[in-house]
Every structure is written in C-alpha cells, then in structure tokens.
A and B are shown apart, each in its own frame.
Chain A
Amino acid sequence: MDPQRKRKIRLVMALSVAVLLAVALIYTSFSAATEAKEPSQLIGATPGTTYDMTGKVVPGSIKHRGSGIAFQVVDRDGQGQSLPVSYTGTVPDPFRGGREIVLTGRVQGGTFVGEPETLITKCPSKFTTKSNG
C-alpha cells in the first residue's frame, strides 16, 4: 500500500475512535447528571427523583437531631418559600446560617433528604463583595 493511502486510513481510524469516545462521553454525561434546582423549584417536585439542591441556609434554622441536622433553605437570592432539609453525615467547616450550599438528595414528604457526604458549603471568605465580606 502506498504510504499516502496508509496515512489516510490511519487518520480516518483515529478520528472514528475519537468520535465514538466523544459520543459515549456525551451520552453518559446526560444520563449521569443530576439536575440542579433551587428550593422554590423543589417544593412540589417529583418525590424520589434525585436533585442537586442549591440554596441558602436560613440563619438560626439549624437544629441538631441525633446524629444529623435539620435546617431550612431558601433560594440563593434569599427570596421565596423556605424548604425543610434533613441531613446526616459530615458537615463541612464553613457550614452555617446564611451560607450557600449544594446538597444532593430527594424530596420525601415535603422535606429534602440529603444523601450522606454530599453537603457542600461554599467558602465565603475569598473575593466576596463588600456587602457580605
């Protein structure tokens, strides 16, 4: 086979492999992703579906219940109805009232039940604007 042709075949093969991998990547990412919702969107959401909830912890609402905690969250802009949350597992250091959090879990009986070890609290310390610095 002449080298020119050989190179072309090699190129086509490499490209097809890359395309196949890319398709697999795209396909799995859409099926593996969890939807992100804010608390107001979760009130009345389908029970049993897993969501990433992003919201703001209502100051003063954190209660220790046995080994877990219960608290309320509102939308990140601080507006809207609050959603009760229960969570068991490690609580990150920066977690407290007024902080933004991301928590994976599902709605059960009007309460958002977080999966253990999925609570992420945003570190508010750096680069904040003056109002909340």
Chain B
Amino acid sequence: MASLGSVLLALAFLAAVAAAVIALAGRKGERRLIDLSRRTVYGFCALLTACVAIIEIAFAGNDFSFNIVQQHSSIETPAFYKLAAMWSSQEGSLLLWAWVLSIASSIALFATRNKMREIVPWATAVMMGVAAFFTGLMLFAPDVDPFATLSPAPADGIGLNPLLQHPSMMIHPPMLYSGYVAFTIPFAFAIGALITRKVDAEWIRSTRRFALIAWTFLGFGLLLGARWSYTELGWGGYWAWDPVENAALMPWLLGTAFLHSIMVQEKRGMLKVWNACLVVGTFSMALLGTFLVRSGVLQSIHAFGDNTVGPYILGLIGVVLIGSTALIISRLDDLRSEKRIDSLVSRESVFLVNNLLLVGLTAVIAWGTFFPLISELFTGNKASLAAPWFDHYTTPLAILLVLFTGIGPLLAWRRVSWASARRVFRIPLIVAAVSAVALLLLTDASHKPWAMALFVFAAFALTGLGQEFWNGAAARRKISGGSMAGALIAVVSRNRRRYGGYIIHAGVAVVLIGIAASSSFQTNRDVNLRPGQSAVVDGRKITYVKPEVSVDSEKFTFASLVTVEKDGKLEATLRPSRRYFRPTGQPTGTISSYFDGEATSEVGLHAGLGHDEWIAAQPDITKVQHQVSVADKAFKACVSGAPGTPPQCKAVGALMRSAAANPSLRPVALAQIEKLQSLTAENIARSYVSDNAAVTFKVIINPLVSWMWIGGLIALAGAIIALWPSRGRRRGAVVRTESDAQKEAKYREIRDAELDHAAGKLSDEDFAILDAELRREAVEILDRVDGGGNGKPHANGHGTPANGDGTPEKVKQS
C-alpha cells in the first residue's frame, strides 16, 4: 500500500506541474487548453485524495509498517483520534496542506470555468505552482515522506500524545490549514489580474467568497485553539502571544482588512494598490505561519523540533514577496484609483481607518513576534517580548477597532450629511453614555479604564447594529406588511452579505467584551489544601472534600473532589484531576514508568454566563513516587529470588526464568507481572487516599469568559449567512459575462441605497444625490454593454419606487 501511495504522490506532483504548464500554454485564452488544465487540477485533487485515503486506511487498520502510523498512533489509540492523527505529524500536515489546496483550487476553477478567460490560466499556474511546491517537499525533502515504511513492521506504535487527545485539538489544525490554504485562491487570482492588467473588480468578485471562507476557517481555528488551551492546558489562559499563535492571528487580521477594502474597490474603484498589497501580505503571512511551526527559528510552546522543510518554505515566501512586489510596481499605472473619496463621513473612509488600524495591529504583532531575531541582529542577544508588551500596544488598537465596527455599518457609502449622521448616531450614543454611567456607578470597571472604554464602545457598536436590523426590518414591513419577525427574516435573507457582515461585527464585539472582562477582572489564586480544608476565593468557598485515585494499565489518575459554594449555596461540584500516563507501546515495565510518560491536567470547569469557576489541581506526589521506587526495588529483589521473599514472588521469578528460555510462556509471564504490578499500584493509590496529602489548587474566577465562545459562534453564524449562496447561484450555472456582473453589482448598489434610505440611514436629500449618481453610472455600464439598449433604469432618479425588497422595478425585469 505504501508503495502505491508513493506512486500516487509522484503522479500528483506531475499532475500539478502539468496543470500549471498547460494553463500557461493556454494563457491567450484557448478554451481547449484551459479546460484541459482545469481537468488536470481535478485529477491532481483525486490523486491526493487517494493518498490521504491510503494513509487513513493505514491508521484505521493499525498498519505499523507505515512510519507515520507507528510514530503517531497505537493499537490503544481511540478510533476517532486515529483518523485525526495524520495531521499531528509533520509529513501528514504537509499532505493535508496540499490536499486542502487541491480541493480549494478545484472548487475555485469550477466556479470560474466560464469566466475570466485571461486571468484563470495565470491563477491556475500560481495555485498549481504552490501545490507542486508542497507536493514536491513530501517527495524530495528528507524525512517528510508520508509513505516512508518500517521493516520489519513493529507490533505497536508510539501512540498519540494524550494532551492532543481532545476533540477541539483534532479540528483545530485542519481549520487553520484550510484558512491558510484558502487564502491562496484570492492571491492566485490577484496575481493573474496583475499580470494580465485586468485589475478591475472582477477578480475580487470571483474570489471574495474564498477570502471570506479562509477568514472564517482561520478565525474559527484560532478560537478552537484558545478553547483547547483554556480547558485542557491547566494554566487557565486562552492566549499567550506565542509566536505560532501570532502567526495565525496576523493573516487573520490582514484578511479582515482585505475583506473590507475590497468592498471599496468593488464599489468605488479605489484602493487597488492597497488591495494587491494586502492579498500578497495575507498570503505571505499564511505561508509564514506554516513556516514558523516548522522552523525552530523562534522559541515557542508550539516547538516542533528542528527539521528540514523550514528553509524551503522560507524560500517560497521570498519568491512570493519579491515577485509580487515587482509585479505590483510594474503595474502601478493600471492600479490608479478611478475615483477619490467624496467625504470623510462615509463608509469608505471608515474602512480606510479600520484598514490602517488592522495593518497597524499586524505590524505591532509582527514586530513583537520577530523581535528576538531583530534584537539579535542589533545587539547580538536574542531578547524576547512578553505578553505585557503586546497587551500595551494591541489593547488601544483593539478598542478603536470595536468603535469602528459600530460606526462603519451606520454610515452609507460615498457621503453622509450631518443630518443623516445625527439621526443614526443618536440612539447608539445615548446607550453608550448610559452604559458608561451604569458601569461607573454599579461596577468597579473604573479601575480599568481600557476595559471600561471597550465596554462602552461595544455597547455603542451593538446598539448601532441592533438599530440597523430594526430599521431594516421596519422598512421592509412598511412595504410588505406582516410581522416584525417575518420582515426581519425577509430583509436579512434578501441582503445576506450586508446583514451577515453585521452579525459578524456583533460577534466580534461580544468576543472582545469576553476578552476584556476576563483579562481585566479575573481572580487567579493558588491555594494549598488538605482534604476537608477550605479557602475563600473571590467570595466563593472552595472546599477540598476528598481525593479520588484510580489506576489502570495506562495511567494513574489523581482526582480531587472540590465543592464551590457562594453565600452558603452549593454552586458546583468539580473534579479536577491530574493524570500520569505510561509511555505508550510499553505495556509493562517498572511501576515508576507510570511517571515517565505525559502528565495531563483535567480541569474542573463550571461555566456560566456571568462567571466561569475554573480549578486545576496539582497533587503532591512526592510520597507516591517514593513508594513506587520502593515497590520497584522490592519487586526486583523478589523476582531475583533473594532470601526471605514471599512464595508467590518466587513463583513469578521462576515463571520469568522459564519464559526467557521458552518464548511460548512469555505472554503468561507478562500477564502475571502486569497483574502483580497493578495490584501494587492500587495499593499505592489507596495509601495516597488515606494519606490526606495536600493538593495545590489553581482557582480562577473568570467573569464573562463564556461570551468569548458565544461571540465566536455568533460571528460564525454571520459568516455562514454571508456565504450562503443566493437563489440564482444555487439554481446553477448562468453563464455571465463581465458586463453582466458589473451591471448586477451596480443594481445591487442601487438597491442598497434604497434600503438605506427606507431604513432612515440616508436623508431624502442624500438619497436623491446618491441615487442619481448610481443611475448615471448604471447607464454608463449599459451604454458600454449594448449601446444604451433595453432595460436601462431612468437616469432621472424618479419613478422607480422601492418595492418589496427595495429592488427598482426595472432591475427586477432585467
């Protein structure tokens, strides 16, 4: 099977190279060649899918002749984790990268099969170039061949690190990878657009979804990682400004900037250079994230050992950066803005500010992340920056961002008169002021000015967003009647992109509330308790009731039964525990081998909307370890038949000696030894319980931290709404020309403006000007398309009253 896999992988590499070459041969738009290259990409995807299937079958069937299986799985590894163990290995994660890229490329090329005849060949070449790079790494770089074999095949594998045996750890890496990989698509199309000088909004319209998908995956992956850290790692935090975390956050931030600024290019034809730079930056950052975990360049908790692929990825980043920069510079003339910003009070200028904030935030994080390298360059010392430095700079920027998540949705495109602005800002400002006063009077938020500012801005943003939904629904209801809820659903489902975006904004604001509250107002204390003792932490009585110890062939588990009481009322009964694993693949050995493997904490967590009560326990096992070493010595003496040993001991000793001579007796002997060992281990466990040993508890009372996860889910829901295909798309392939797409985009803008007017965001005067402008632009497009033929809206801005969904009559007909 492994040799079949190697052959398929080699074929996949050839397919990627062939697809790129065929695509380039068809760069003048030859349909036959473009179709062939697209089909070759599908073939590439099929080949890699087969490779992944072979590896997964090997994992499922415990085929330890596969090196990757032997290193990352064992007979005892639970089935669910066996299937996910692939990407806990270096070679498996590279295969995952390539595989996800092959899927994303196939989908992107399928979606654009009738469009952008000139850009697609170049985009195909870029995507397949990257794909060939990663596939080639597996084939040609040392030590990363997923189909490397072991001969003879070992009987069992090393197993998967117990720390990683957590559901979110299994989804987190593929999520992040999908995010990283999906950014390849907008990058590839941007390069294609630059090369062919077709730098209008078309490549953006076609790849915007991929950017949003990438952004969603990356964000969700980050959140899952944070969740895992919080519930599994026993330190109680969710973010440590670790280089690898930063490496995933940076492309996410740049991706956020990109998703906003492309709207400005789409609607106004501005920021073209900026968008090209952002997409190159985002993709480079995604590669950098892939590189950092594999290089050992920076000190990180996610240290994956020194290995061989780092320099190659660095080389690829270099090629991407230098090539793209040169390309952008050579195309500066084509990238000139078609228009200028009309007014500082407009959505596009808010987007500009948010872009500057996001890029600034990324720059700060990049500087801090790479500071050890920078400082080594200048001072010769590798000095690093700790969390407080990051907090110091990122906090104010994050707070400003929350403010702008609120302001942006309230402003219309192009320009807003003060009268309109006053109307939409009135209620959010009042709510922000009231919440500021309430926070000052009712809570101790005033001690933490940054958190206070964030809460007030978040209140402003959430109110503004709520008002948007309310006004939109009210406008819809005025036209079509029915219930408010029905109108809300109708207006959201007809403007998914807009309202999905608003929901994401609300989710992000809620996430930041959770972060601000839990980082500023948490109580974190270590208490040392014996069974029966209590301590008071943040008004809660924490009682260590009793120890509970269990032992099996794999691990010792020291659990502590803890109760949490508030005002005399029982709030939670928790069982934080610490587990000591034997190294897997060694069923027998000394009893002390129980303490040679991994140790993991199982956190006791009582999550609530107001507070989380989080407890981790660190038992004092000095005495247990002492007893274990005494028992090991006694056992050794026993089987050697030393004088005075009990008779059953002698029996085991005799059995072992005869097993040494006669291999068929070995299983019996091993079973006997294991039985004896587990009896001893159980005795030691019992003595720990009767010992009343002290346990150090880390108790964290974390306010509002649940809202981080809730906010994340809200944002995810928003992203799904924004991504949900429209009815036309679902019905299937309508062959559309670029001018059709331009026309549709302009009609959508007209509808948006009408919705804004109906919802009260645009005053009558503002709307009249904007509507006239938009209709004039629509006529220009139509004139270009068919010399001013049928179905054009009237340029006078009158006579097209908004109907059901705010669609102008003429637009509906067309």
Could you give, for residues 595-636 of chain B, a 1 whenever the CB lies within 8 Å of some chain A CB and a 0 otherwise?
A: 000111100000000000000101011100000000000000
CB distance from B678 to the nearest CB of A (A): 23
Contact of A93 with B601 in the complex, beta carbons under 8 Å: yes
Contact of B293 with A127 in the complex, beta carbons under 8 Å: yes
Contact of A52 with B304 in the complex, beta carbons under 8 Å: no
Which chain B residue has the least Cβ–Cβ distance from A118?
B386
Contacting residues, chain A, for B367 (C-beta < 8 A):
25-26, 29
Contact of A30 with B163 in the complex, beta carbons under 8 Å: no
Contact of B620 with A64 in the complex, beta carbons under 8 Å: yes
Contact of A36 with B299 in the complex, beta carbons under 8 Å: yes
Contacting residues, chain A, for B240 (C-beta < 8 A):
120
Indicate whether A28 sits within 8 Å of B375 (C-beta atoms), given known contacts A36-B381, A93-B600: no
Q: How many angstroms from the CA of A50 to the CA of B89 in the assembled complex?
A: 36
Task: Tell which of B35-43, B320-328, B388-396 binds the partner.
Answer: B388-396
Could you give, for residues 180-213 of chain B, a 1 whenever the CB lies within 8 Å of some chain A CB and a 0 otherwise?
A: 0000000000000000000000000000000000
CB distance from A104 to the nearest CB of B (A): 7
Contact of B598 with A93 in the complex, beta carbons under 8 Å: yes
**A91 at the B interface (CB under 8 A):** yes
Q: How many angstroms from the CA of A63 to the CA of B625 in the assembled complex?
A: 11
Contact of A93 with B307 in the complex, beta carbons under 8 Å: no
Q: Which residues 292-316 of B sit at the A interface, judged by CB distance below 8 A?
A: 293-294, 299-307
Contacting residues, chain A, for B381 (C-beta < 8 A):
35-36
Indicate whether A90 sits within 8 Å of B616 (C-beta atoms), given known contacts A32-B388, A35-B382: yes
**B414 at the A interface (CB under 8 A):** no
Contacting residues, chain A, for B129 (C-beta < 8 A):
none
Indicate whether A124 sits within 8 Å of B164 (C-beta atoms), given known contacts A28-B392, A67-B696, A93-B233: no
Contacting residues, chain B, for A29 (C-beta < 8 A):
367-368, 371, 385, 389
Contact of B371 with A90 in the complex, beta carbons under 8 Å: no
Contact of A94 with B163 in the complex, beta carbons under 8 Å: yes
**A121 at the B interface (CB under 8 A):** yes
**B115 at the A interface (CB under 8 A):** no
Q: How many angstroms from the CA of A123 to the CA of B528 in the assembled complex?
A: 27
Which chain B residue has the least Cβ–Cβ distance from A121?
B301
**A46 at the B interface (CB under 8 A):** no
Which chain A residue has the least Cβ–Cβ distance from B600?
A93
Contacting residues, chain B, for A90 (C-beta < 8 A):
234-236, 526, 616, 618, 698
Q: Which residues 105-129 of A sit at the B interface, judged by CB distance below 8 A?
A: 117, 120-129
CB distance from B342 to the nearest CB of A (A): 12
Could you give, for residues 59-99 of chain A, a 1 whenever the CB lies within 8 Å of some chain B CB and a 0 otherwise?
A: 00001100100000000000000000000011111111000
Contact of B375 with A33 in the complex, beta carbons under 8 Å: yes
Which chain A residue has the least Cβ–Cβ distance from B623?
A64
Q: How many angstroms from the CA of A92 to the CA of B371 in the assembled complex?
A: 25
Q: How many angstroms from the CA of A22 to the CA of B599 in the assembled complex?
A: 43
Contacting residues, chain B, for A104 (C-beta < 8 A):
386
Contacting residues, chain B, for A94 (C-beta < 8 A):
163, 598-599
Q: How many angstroms from the CA of A126 to the CA of B599 in the assembled complex?
A: 16
Contact of A36 with B386 in the complex, beta carbons under 8 Å: no
Which chain B residue has the least Cβ–Cβ distance from A122?
B303
Indicate whether A89 sits within 8 Å of B372 (C-beta atoms), given known contacts A36-B299, A67-B696, A129-B307: no
Q: How many angstroms from the CA of A39 to the CA of B133 in the assembled complex?
A: 39
User: Number of residues in B with C-beta < 8 Å to the partner?
Assistant: 59
Q: Chain A, interface size: which category?
A: 35 or more
Which chain B residue has the least Cβ–Cβ distance from A127?
B304
Which chain B residue has the least Cβ–Cβ distance from A36?
B382
**B383 at the A interface (CB under 8 A):** yes
CB distance from A83 to the nearest CB of B (A): 17
Contact of A125 with B392 in the complex, beta carbons under 8 Å: no
Contact of B383 with A36 in the complex, beta carbons under 8 Å: yes
Contacting residues, chain B, for A67 (C-beta < 8 A):
526, 528, 696
Contact of B304 with A92 in the complex, beta carbons under 8 Å: no
Indicate whether A35 sits within 8 Å of B383 (C-beta atoms), given known contacts A25-B367, A125-B161, A129-B306: yes
Which chain A residue has the least Cβ–Cβ distance from B143?
A129
**A19 at the B interface (CB under 8 A):** no
CB distance from A49 to the nearest CB of B (A): 12
**B492 at the A interface (CB under 8 A):** no
**B677 at the A interface (CB under 8 A):** no
Contact of A127 with B618 in the complex, beta carbons under 8 Å: no
CB distance from A109 to the nearest CB of B (A): 24
Contacting residues, chain B, for A26 (C-beta < 8 A):
367
Which chain B residue has the least Cβ–Cβ distance from A119?
B235
**A102 at the B interface (CB under 8 A):** yes
Could you give, for residues 362-405 of chain B, a 1 whenever the CB lies within 8 Å of some chain A CB and a 0 otherwise?
A: 00100110011001000101111110110011000000000000
Q: How many angstroms from the CA of A130 to the CA of B89 in the assembled complex?
A: 11
Given contacts A29-B389, A100-B303, 20 further A-B contacts (CB under 8 A): A26-B367, A28-B392, A30-B383, A32-B388, A33-B385, A34-B383, A67-B526, A67-B696, A90-B526, A92-B233, A93-B233, A93-B234, A94-B163, A94-B598, A104-B386, A123-B302, A126-B89, A126-B161, A127-B294, A129-B305
What are the nearest 9 A-B pairs in CB distance?
A: A127-B304, A125-B161, A122-B303, A33-B383, A128-B305, A127-B90, A36-B382, A64-B622, A35-B383
Task: Please name 27 pairs of A and B residues whose Cβ atoms are closer than 8 Å in the assembled complex, sorted by A.
Answer: A25-B364, A25-B393, A28-B392, A29-B385, A30-B375, A33-B389, A34-B386, A35-B381, A35-B382, A54-B299, A63-B622, A64-B621, A90-B618, A92-B233, A93-B234, A93-B598, A93-B601, A94-B163, A94-B598, A122-B300, A125-B161, A127-B93, A127-B304, A127-B305, A127-B307, A129-B305, A132-B305
